[in-house]
Chain A
Amino acid sequence: MDKLEVLIIDDEPQIRKLLSIVLESDGYKVWTAQTGLEGISVAASRKPDIILLDLGLPDKSGIEVLKELRQWYVQPILIISVQNREGDIIGALDLGADDYITKPFRTGELLARTRASQRRISKDKGKSILVSGPITIDLEARTVLCNGLNLKLTATEYHLLTLFVINEGKVLTHLYLLKEVWGDAYQSETQYLRVFVGQLRRKIEKNPNRPQHILTESGIGYRFVSETAL
C-alpha cells in the first residue's frame, strides 16, 4: 500500500518541523505549506489524503482557507488551533473540518486524531453491524451489545450512541448532536444532551464519573473513543 500523504499548512517553522518528524516517523509522506495560498495550491497539485490546517495564518484566516478547500476537497481536514478559541473551533467544525487539536498538543493525541479521521473515511459505509471497542450495534435488528451483553437503550439513547459509534474518534458539536437527534427546533437545548449522555455513560462506562468512551470536550461537544488512546 502506498504511503498516506499529509499536507501541513502552518506558518510556524518549529511546528511544521515537529509535525513533519512525528508524522514521517509514523509512516506518512509529508508536504508542507507556510501560507494559506500556498496550502491551497499544494492541496490542489498533490491531492493529499489528509490536511492539517492551522487556523492562525499570516495571509488569510484559516477559516477562509477551510472554506475554499471544502469547495472541492473531500478528504479529512484537521484544524490546529490555540487554546481558548472554542468559538473558532466550533465555526471550523461547522464548516466541514473533521476534527481539531489545540496547541500545545501531545504527539500521541495528534497521531490518534489523524488515524481516526483516516479510519472513518475508509470505513465501509454499507455495513449493518458497527463494532467499536466494547460496543456492537446491529443497525438492522436495532440491538446493542456492550462487552457481549445485551444493552437496553431508549430510542434517544440508541440514536445518540449510533451517532457516536459511526463517528468514532471524531468530535461532535453540541449543535450537530442536537440537530441530528432532536431536530432543528432543539438547537439550544443542551441540557437534553447532558441528561442523555449521562444516562448513556451510566449504561456503557465502567465508571461513569471517569468516562473512557464518551468524552466531554469543554465548550465544544463530545467525542466517542473506542480504546483509551494515550
Chain B
Amino acid sequence: MNLKQKIKSKFLRDIPIPAQYSLSITVLFGIALLGSWLNPAIGYRGVALFMLLAVSILAVVFDILPVLLAAVLSALTWNYFFIPPIYEFNFENKEDMFLFVMYFFIAMVNAALSLKVKDRNRKLREKEEKEKAIAFYNTILNSLSHELRTPIATIIGSIDAINDQNRILTSNQKSELKHEISKAALRLDQHVENLLGLSRLESGMVKLNLDWIDINELIHRVLQKYTQPEPSQSITFLPGEKLPLFRLDAVLIEQVIFNLLQNAVLYTPEGTEITICTKYENEYCRISFKDNGPGFPESSIKFAFDKFYRIGTYNARGTGLGLSIVKGFTEVHNGKVTLSNIIEGGACFVIEIPAETSFIVNLKDG
C-alpha cells in the first residue's frame, strides 16, 4: 500500500458512523441545491447523473448504511424536486418513472459494489499483514534459536570432548573446555532472563517494587558480579558525588545496568574504554554509558531499542532483546533512555529517571 492510500483510508475510515450519516445528508442536499441551480442548463435528467456521481463518490469512502441512506434520499429528492410534476412524488410520463427506478437501482448497485471492493481490500491488507508478521516471527525465531543453539552446542561439544575415551586432552585443555561450558550456561541464563523480561513487559505485568537505593552501590555491585568475556575492554566507573538515595526498583535497574554493560562489552572492539557516570540533575537520576568504540551507524540509532532489532542482517549477533529491555524497564519508571554517537567517536547511552529522592544525613542515632 502506498503512502497516499494509507493516509486516505486511515483518515476516512476514522470518521465515526453517525458523522458519516450527517455528512451523507449534507453532501446530498448540497448537490440538490447545486442541481437546482444547474437544472435550467442541464435539465433534470442531467441533475440525476450529477446526483448519481455524488452517491458513487460517497460509496467509495463511506460505510454501506450511510451510502444506502444517501441513495434512497437522493432518489426521493430527485423525484420530489426535479421530476415533473415537482413538489410531488409522482411522474408525468413512463420514461421518467423508468429513469427513476433505474436511478434507484444504479445507486444501490454502486453502494453494494463499493462495499465488495472495500471488503476485498481489507482482506488483502489483512493477508499482507499476516504474511509480514509471519516473516517477522520467522526471522526472530531463526535468530533466537541461533543464539540459544550456540551455547547449547558449546556445552554438548565440550562435554563430548571431555568424555571421549579416545581423545587425550591436557588438563589445561580440559579446564578450558569446562570454562567454556560454564560461560555458555551463563549466556543461556541471560537469554532466558531477557526473554522473561520481554514477556513481563509485553503482558504489562511489570509491577514496580520501589525501594530506596544507592545507585552508586548498585552499579559497583553489578560491576563486581560481572565477569568479562575476552577480548576485554576497560571499564571505568565515575560515581557522582553526594547523590541522594533514589526510590527505584533495584532488580529492574540492575538488569538495565547489566544489559547496557553487556551491550557495550559485546559490541565494541578489544581495548575500548567504557565509562559509566552517575549524576543527580534537575530531579532526575541520570546514568550514562559512554564508549570510544566505533559508535552506531546513524541509520540504526532510531531502531536500536526495538525488540529483536540487531545491526546488520547477516551474521548479526545477539537476540536483539537487551536494549529493548533497557528501554522497557526504564520506561516503567517513567524514565527515558537515549542513544547518540559522540563526535570524537563512540556511543553514548543516557538513562534519565525522575525519582523520589532522600537526602537524609542527620539521623537520630541513639
Contacts and interface: CB of A to CB of B under 8 A. Distances in A.
Given A104-B185, A190-B212, A195 B251 contact: no
A224 B217 CA distance: 16
Interface residues of A, number: 22
A84 to B, nearest CB: 7
Contacts, number: 55
A210 interface: yes
Contacts of B361: 195
A61 interface: no
Given A154-B365, A209-B216, A210-B224, 15 more contacts: A84-B196, A84-B251, A104-B185, A156-B363, A174-B211, A194-B212, A194-B214, A195-B360, A209-B220, A209-B239, A216-B218, A216-B221, A218-B218, A218-B250, A219-B251
Contacts of A210: 220, 224
Contacts of B250: 218-219
Interface in B273-328: none
- Chain A at the B interface: SS class: helix
Interface string B207-231: 0010111101110110010000000
Interface of A: 83-84, 86-87, 104, 154-157, 174, 190-192, 194-196, 198, 209-210, 216, 218-219
Interface string B236-271: 000100000100011100100000000000000000
A38 to B, nearest CB: 29
A48 B213 CA distance: 39
Contacts of B239: 209
Interface of B: 185, 189, 193, 196, 209, 211-214, 216-218, 220-221, 224, 239, 245, 249-251, 254, 358, 360-361, 363, 365-366
A195 B363 contact: yes
A154 B366 CA distance: 8
Contacts of A84: 193, 196, 251
Contacts of A157: 365
Given A154-B365, A191-B360, A218-B254, A86 B209 contact: yes
B253 to A, nearest CB: 9
B332 to A, nearest CB: 14
